[in-house]
Amino acid sequence: MKKTLLVLLMISTILSFGATKRVAYVINGSLGDQSFYDSGHAGIVRLENEFGVEARVLECNFDPSLYYPSLMTAARWADVIFVISYGFEEELKEIASMFPNKIWVNIDTVVQDENGIISSVDFREEEGAFMAGVVAAMVTESDLPGANPEKIIGAVGGDDDIVIKAFMYGYEQGAHFIDPEVEVKVVYAGTWDDPAKGKQAALQLYSQGADIVFQVAALTGSGVLQAAEEVGKYAIGVDSNQNGLAPGHVVTSDLKEVGKSIYSVYKMIVDGTFEKGKVYSFGVKEGMVGLAIDEYTHQILTEEMISRVVEIQQKVASGEVTVQTYTPQE
């Protein structure tokens, strides 16, 4: 009897996996940002390598006219569709309702449809940004080259939306965890794919006394890293490990493991534990957000500073240090 059940379970797993071999990655933006979208793509490549899936990436290039047809193409071809749906949440709901037997996973925001077809991955980005704020405050209070006596740190956001506000909320909490007197200045670039505007925004913040700037702006944010290198100041990267893009100036990066989350969810699909309509919450505890501390970090920060950062991040993971969740004002 046990042998029969085991065989049936194996057959069920094989059939289930066989029905999820085509995977689409639909993004509102474009690859090549060395940050958010590329992180997700790395997860898709990992699925190709480890599970042998056939994958397609559909880039909408921030063009609303491409949202609906891209989703439709994915729905008709793929078994599993991972979507970054900023700006086309309603189109996602509509097309998912037309293809309810497909597996729909929305990344980074929560999209809930009345039929419970769409699952979501919701990152607790406040926790990673909290750690970025911890590092920024420690840098501005240090005697590192390029740091000044003023307790001012900066941040550049791609746009003034709910996700970026959550980042800024966590960033400020982390800075004030180190020193309540640290001032946080924020500039919104209004675009995700213009490094020149990111650089301009960072230079503005550096001129106002900030000695370190946290970028949360995708490709626009690469200009922030360039600005830090140009003026001899510091920056913090985001989403992917950007520490090596401006060595000696990018202190750390606030990782949002989009690719790792895609891999984790797909693994659940394969082993049968995935739930349609569920919101999966990922943070520091799950290893999905947190700081990239590597040889570039060690070149800038003292070992004492790094030890303190690691200790605080461990306390966030254990719950000993609580990071407040951003709640939009009505």
Side chain identity, residue 224: V
- Dump the DSSP string for 116-177: S-EEEEEE-HHHHHHHHHHHHHHHHTS--TT--SS-EEEEEESSSSHHHHHHHHHHHHHHHH
Cβ neighbors of 164 (< 8 A, separation 6 or more) are 157, 158, 188, 216
Domain ranges of the chain: 2-123+259-282, 125-256+293-318
Q: Report pLDDT for 19.
A: 64
Output the six-digit token pair for 173.
Answer: 């909490």
Q: Indicate yes or no: pTM above 0.85.
A: yes
CA dihedral 130, 28, 118, 80 (to 10 degrees): -110
Q: Alpha-carbon distance 211 to 222, whole Å?
A: 17
Strand partners, 186: 155
Block residue for tokens 């924020």: 186
Q: Could you check whether 2-123+259-282 and 125-256+293-318 share the same CATH topology?
A: yes
Query: Can you tell me whether residue 252 is helix, strand or coil?
Result: strand
Question: Buried (b) or exposed (e) across 6-32, using 16+ Cβ within 10 A?
Answer: eeeeeeeeeeebeebebbbbbbbbbee
DSSP state of 277: T
CA angle 156–158–164, rounded 5-degree value: 85
Q: Report pLDDT for 18.
A: 56
Architecture of the domain made up of 2-123+259-282: 3-Layer(aba) Sandwich (3.40)
Strand partners, 80: 23, 103
The superfamily in CATH containing domain 125-256+293-318 is: Response regulator (3.40.50.2300)
Which of 328, 284, 288 shows the shortest CA–CA distance to 310? 284
Q: What is the pLDDT along the chain (330 residues), one digit of tens a residue?
A: 444 443 344 444 444 445 679 999 999 999 998 889 999 999 999 999 999 999 999 999 999 999 999 999 999 999 999 999 989 999 999 999 999 999 999 999 999 999 999 999 999 999 999 999 999 999 999 999 989 999 999 999 999 988 999 999 999 999 999 999 999 999 999 999 899 999 999 999 999 999 999 999 999 999 999 999 999 999 999 999 999 999 999 999 999 999 999 999 999 999 999 999 999 999 999 999 999 999 999 999 999 999 999 999 999 999 999 999 999 875
Q: Report pLDDT for 20.
A: 74
Q: Alpha-carbon distance 101 to 326, whole Å?
A: 34
Q: Give 328's Cβ-side CA count (13 Å radius).
A: 6
**Whether the Cβ atoms of residue 236 and residue 214 lie closer than 8 Å to each other:** yes
